[in-house]
A and B are shown apart, each in its own frame.
Chain A
Amino acid sequence: MVVTEPRLVGQPLPRVEDLALIQGQGQYVSDVHFDGQWAMALVRSPHAHAKILSIEVAAAKELAGVKAVITADPFEELKRPLPGMAPIAPPPLAYDRVFYVGQPVALILADNRYVAEDAAELVSVQYEALPALTDAIEAAADTLVLHPELGTNTLDRVQYESGEGKRALENADHVIRATLRLGRVSAQPMEPRAVAAHYDAIEQQLIVYDATQSVHRAQERIAEFLNMPPERIRVIAPEVGGGFGVKNGTYPEEALVVWCAVHFNNPVKWAGDRFEEFLSTYQEREQIHHVELGVNHDGTLVALVDTYFQDNGAFPGGGMIVCRTTARNLPGPYRIPHLFIDGRAVLTNKVPQAPYRGAGRPQGHYIIERMLDRAADTLGMDRVAIRMKNLVRSDDLPYHSGIPDVVYDSGDFPRTFQDLLNLVDVDACRARQREALKNGVRLGLGLSNYVEVSAGFGFEGVKIELGDRGRIRLSTGATGQGQGHRTALAQIAADALSIPIDRIEVVEGDTGSIAKGIGTFGSRTIIMAGNATEKTSVGLIEKAKLAAAKLLEAHVEDILFEAGQFHVKGVPSVALDWAELAEQWKREGEPPLVHEDAFGSNTPTYGFGSHAMIVRVDENTAGIQIERYVIVHDGGSIVNPLLANGQVIGGTVQGLGSALYEEMIYNEDGQPLTTSFLDYRLPGANESPDIEIHHRDYPAPNNPKGYKGVGEAGIIPSQAIVLSAVEDAFRDRGLHLDFAPVTPTRLFQALAALKGGDEA
Chain B
Amino acid sequence: MKPPAFDYVRPTTLSEALEALTTHADAKLLAGGQSLIPMMNMRLAHPATLVDLNGLSELTEIREDGNRLIVGALVRHYQLEQDPRVRRFAPIVAKAEQLIAHPAIRTR
Interface residues of A (CB under 8 A from B): 113-114, 117-118, 121, 273-275, 676
CA distance in complex: A50, B11 (Å): 48
CA distance A265 to B74 in the complex (A): 51
* A-B contact sample (15 more), CB < 8 A, given A117-B1, A118-B4, A676-B38: A113-B2, A114-B2, A114-B3, A114-B5, A117-B2, A117-B4, A117-B43, A118-B5, A121-B4, A121-B43, A273-B1, A274-B1, A275-B1, A275-B42, A676-B42
Complex: A676 Cα to B43 Cα, angstroms: 13
Residues of A within 8 A of B2 (CB): 113-114, 117
One digit per residue, 1 when the CB lies within 8 angstroms of any chain A CB and 0 when it does not, for chain B 28-46 equals: 0000000000100011000
Q: From residue A227, how far is it (CB to closest CB) to chain B in Å?
A: 34
User: Which residue of the partner chain B has the closest CB to A114?
Assistant: B2
Residues of A within 8 A of B5 (CB): 114, 118
| Residues of B close to A114: CB separation below 8 A | 2-3, 5
How many angstroms from the CA of A273 to the CA of B41 in the assembled complex? 10
Q: Once the chains are docked, how many angstroms separate the CA of A114 from the CA of B43?
A: 11
* A273 vs B43: C-alpha distance when bound (angstroms): 13
Residues in chain B near residue A273, CB distance under 8 A: 1
Closest to B42 in A: A275
The distance in angstroms between the C-alpha atoms of A114 and B42, with both chains bound, is 12
Counting from the closest, the 10 A-B pairs by CB-CB distance are A273-B1, A114-B2, A117-B2, A113-B2, A275-B1, A118-B4, A275-B42, A274-B1, A121-B43, A118-B5
Q: How far is the CA of A676 from the CA of B38 in the complex (A)?
A: 10
A-B contact pairs, 8 of them (CB 8 A): A114-B3, A117-B1, A117-B2, A117-B43, A118-B4, A275-B1, A275-B42, A676-B42
CB distance from A584 to the nearest CB of B (A): 58
Interface of A, secondary structure class, is helix
Question: Using a CB–CB distance below 8 Å, which chain B residues touch chain A?
Answer: 1-5, 38, 42-43
- Report the minimal beta-carbon distance from A249 to chain B, rounded to whole angstroms: 23
Q: How far, in whole Å, are A92 and B1 apart by their CA atoms in the complex?
A: 21
Chain B's closest residue to A684 (CB) is B102
Residues of B within 8 A of A676 (CB): 38, 42
Shortest distance in angstroms between A191's beta carbon and chain B's nearest beta carbon? 14
- A693 vs B2: C-alpha distance when bound (angstroms): 43
Instruction: Give min CB distance, A443 to chain B, whole Å.
Output: 26
Distance in angstroms from A543 CB to nearest chain B CB is 52
A114 vs B1: C-alpha distance in the bound complex, in angstroms? 9
Q: How far is the CA of A275 from the CA of B38 in the complex (A)?
A: 11
Q: How distant is the Cα of A117 from the Cα of B1 in the complex, in angstroms?
A: 8
> Could you tell me the distance between the alpha carbons of A698 and B3 in the complex, rounded to whole angstroms?
54
Min Cβ gap B43→A in Å is 7
CA distance A113 to B4 in the complex (A): 11
Chain B residues with CB under 8 Å of A118's CB are 4-5
Please indicate the chain A residues that have their CB under 8 angstroms from the CB of B4 in the complex.
Answer: 117-118, 121
Compute how far the CA of A118 lies from the CA of B2 in the bound complex, rounded to whole angstroms: 9
Tell me the minimal C-beta distance from A278 to chain B in angstroms: 11
Shortest CB distance A97–B (Å): 26
A111 CB, nearest partner CB in chain B, Å: 12
CB distance from A380 to the nearest CB of B (A): 45
The complex places the Cα of A273 from the Cα of B38 at a distance, in Å, of 13
Q: Which A residues are in CB contact (< 8 Å) with B3?
A: 114
Among residues of B, the one whose C-beta sits closest to the C-beta of A274 is B1
CA distance A113 to B38 in the complex (A): 16
**Residues of B close to A121: CB separation below 8 A:** 4, 43
Q: What separation, in Å, do the CA atoms of A301 and B105 have in the docked complex?
A: 54
By beta carbon, the residue of chain B nearest A192 is B1
Cα(A113)–Cα(B18), bound, Å: 33
Chain A min CB distance to B104 (Å): 13
From residue A116, how far is it (CB to closest CB) to chain B in Å? 8
CA distance A274 to B1 in the complex (A): 8
Q: Which residues of B contact A274 (CB under 8 A)?
A: 1
